């Protein structure tokens, strides 16, 4: 027995925003949530503003979203949305703006309690009084799949880590996938985000919440990425390639919307928080060791994952990731062991296909970091 729920309508293809402009209009006054450069450089922000001008939609741009956005940034964005009177949001960017827009949508409709991070976070327990503002998403990286998930992952400095909230009410109403918006990404960002999508697909395929529906989608997403491993290595990505990687990223988001993630994510978070290693790269550092251990209990599933990518073994996969994810950060064993106190407490440890202990996580870290 399993369930499947995916309420986001996806529009995919070149110029899909212009061809489906009416679907972008979810109210009368919009706040566009983006980063300092993601919306402008991709061209997506200009396209949205042109549509709003044509349709007579008032809008403001909130472009203060940083990498790994904080809960304070989202609360400030919501205050700006309320002051402007926004009744819908547009998220433009990678996972950071798209995740932040979800939190802003909640905060805009539910004024947060003043106080500590955890008091602010109480509003995200799924029982908030007012529905979040409706949202449309335009991803400009092909990695997180946030445009089709009910999750928002924010940085909380008080715990020196990331914390997520989830609610079916923060699914985007619609998402627009256009390879034009990702074709100009710096190569390393394209690689990092592709590995993030790969990680979602592999984790969802191998964790305890996997179902026939999520498995089917996961393998399709991995095949989509597998067709572009050489292009990701060489940096020769066309618009058509970028569209297929965007679609694979969305499939990864659809998968983890059903299954959640595994310890790959919780173990990757400290690498990002303490060492500023990009999220997708952090996942990629952990992922081969996770697969090696998963192979001991799910040999056929791991074999199917690798085959979908066009690879023959975990070692071949590890070698490929080492080639496209160069990382020269150094680590201290005592510091890393402290991380495991937090990572072992993550809920996703419970859905791994193998038993997880703090010492086992430390062992995994030592294997991949030293």
Give the tens place of pLDDT for each residue, 132-174. Answer: 999 999 999 999 999 999 999 888 887 778 888 888 999 999 9
> Which of 145, 235, 154, 142 has the alpha carbon at shortest distance from 188?
235
Asked, for residue 74, whether it belongs to a domain, the answer is yes
Boundary of a domain, candidates 150, 180, 210: 180
Q: Give the pLDDT mean for 253-274.
A: 97
Boundary of a domain, candidates 149, 164, 180: 180
| Count of domains for the chain | 2
Least reliable range by pLDDT among 4-13, 33-42, 316-325: 33-42
Average per-residue pLDDT for the chain: 94
Give the tens place of pLDDT for each residue, 310-328. Answer: 999 999 999 999 999 999 9
Indicate whether 280 and 191 sit together in one domain.
yes
Distance CA 205, CA 210 (A): 6
Give the tens place of pLDDT for each residue, 290-314. Answer: 999 999 999 999 999 999 999 999 9
Write the burial class of residue 300 (CB in 10 Å: 0-12 exposed, 13-18 middle, 19+ buried): exposed
C-alpha separations of 189 from 186, 285, 304, 352 in Å: 5, 15, 27, 28
Indicate whether 63 and 97 sit together in one domain.
yes
pLDDT at 72: 87
Indicate whether 99 and 239 sit together in one domain.
no
Asked, for residue 339, whether it belongs to a domain, the answer is yes
Indicate whether 162 and 223 sit together in one domain.
no
Asked, for residue 1, whether it belongs to a domain, the answer is no
Joined together, the tokens standing for residue 223 give 């095949």
Asked, for residue 3, whether it belongs to a domain, the answer is no
Asked, for residue 2, whether it belongs to a domain, the answer is no
Joined together, the tokens standing for residue 203 give 């984790």
Indicate whether 149 and 283 sit together in one domain.
no
pLDDT grade, residue 120 (50/70/90)? low
Boundary of a domain, candidates 116, 149, 180: 180
Distance CA 348, CA 346 (A): 5
Structural domain harbouring 150: 9-180
pLDDT at 302: 98
Share of the chain above pLDDT 90, in %: 86
Asked, for residue 75, whether it belongs to a domain, the answer is yes
Write the burial class of residue 209 (CB in 10 Å: 0-12 exposed, 13-18 middle, 19+ buried): middle
* CATH number for the domain harbouring residue 20: 3.40.50.1970
- CA quadruple 271, 274, 280, 281: dihedral positive or negative? negative
Alpha helices (H) in the chain, listed in sequence order = 16-19, 21-24, 38-42, 44-55, 71-84, 95-109, 117-121, 187-206, 212-226, 229-234, 239-259, 263-275, 279-297, 299-309, 314-324, 333-343, 358-369
> Which of 279, 228, 224 has the alpha carbon at shortest distance from 248?
224
Least reliable range by pLDDT among 31-40, 139-148, 154-163, 176-185: 154-163
Asked, for residue 212, whether it belongs to a domain, the answer is yes
Indicate whether 132 and 171 sit together in one domain.
yes
Q: Give the pLDDT mean for 23-28.
A: 98
Higher pLDDT, 247 or 129: 247
Indicate whether 209 and 108 sit together in one domain.
no
Indicate whether 60 and 171 sit together in one domain.
yes
Distance CA 347, CA 327 (A): 28
Asked, for residue 301, whether it belongs to a domain, the answer is yes
* CATH number for the domain harbouring residue 291: 1.20.1090.10
pLDDT at 14: 96
Indicate whether 192 and 176 sit together in one domain.
no
Query: Chain-centre distance of CA 231, in angstroms?
Result: 22
Tell me if 186 sits within 8 A of 194, measured CB to CB. Answer: no
DSSP 8-class letter at 127: -
> Which of 147, 178, 237, 173 has the alpha carbon at shortest distance from 44?
178
Distance CA 184, CA 242 (A): 10
């Amino acid at each position: 027995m399993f369930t499947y729920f995916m309420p986001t309508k996806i529009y995919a293809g070149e110029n899909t925003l212009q061809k489906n402009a009416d679907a972008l209009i979810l109210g009368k006054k919009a706040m566009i949530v983006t980063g300092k450069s993601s919306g402008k450089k991709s061209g997506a922000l200009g396209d949205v503003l042109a549509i709003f001008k044509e349709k007579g939609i008032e809008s403001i741009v909130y472009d203060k979203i940083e990498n790994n956005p904080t809960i304070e940034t989202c609360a400030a964005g919501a205050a700006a949305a309320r002051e402007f009177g926004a009744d819908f949001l547009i998220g433009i960017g990678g996972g950071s703006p798209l995740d932040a827009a979800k939190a802003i949508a909640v905060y805009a409709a539910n004024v947060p309690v003043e106080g500590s991070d955890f008091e602010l976070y109480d509003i995200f327990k799924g029982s908030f009084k007012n529905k979040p503002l409706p949202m449309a998403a335009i991803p400009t990286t092909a990695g997180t799949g946030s445009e089709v998930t009910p999750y928002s992952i924010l940085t909380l400095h008080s715990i020196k880590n990331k914390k997520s909230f989830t609610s079916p009410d923060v699914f985007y109403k619609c998402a627009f996938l256009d390879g034009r918006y990702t074709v100009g990404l710096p190569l390393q960002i394209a690689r990092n985000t592709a590995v993030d999508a790969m990680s979602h697909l592999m984790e969802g395929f191998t964790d305890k919440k996997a179902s026939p529906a999520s498995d089917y989608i996961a393998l399709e997403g991995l095949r989509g990425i597998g067709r572009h491993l050489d292009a990701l290595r060489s940096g020769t990505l066309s618009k058509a390639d970028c569209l297929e990687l965007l679609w694979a990223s969305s499939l990864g988001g659809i998968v983890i919307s059903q299954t959640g993630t595994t310890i790959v994510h919780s173990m990757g978070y400290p690498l990002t928080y303490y060492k500023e290693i990009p999220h997708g790269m952090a996942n990629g550092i952990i992922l081969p060791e996770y697969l090696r251990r998963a192979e001991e209990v799910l040999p056929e599933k791991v074999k199917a994952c690798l085959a979908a990518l066009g690879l023959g073994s975990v070692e071949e996969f590890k070698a490929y990731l080492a080639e496209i994810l160069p990382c020269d950060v150094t680590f201290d064993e005592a510091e890393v062991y402290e991380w495991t106190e937090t990572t072992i407490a993550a809920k996703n440890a419970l859905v791994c296909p193998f038993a997880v202990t703090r010492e086992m996580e430390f062992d995994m870290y030592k294997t991949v970091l030293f």
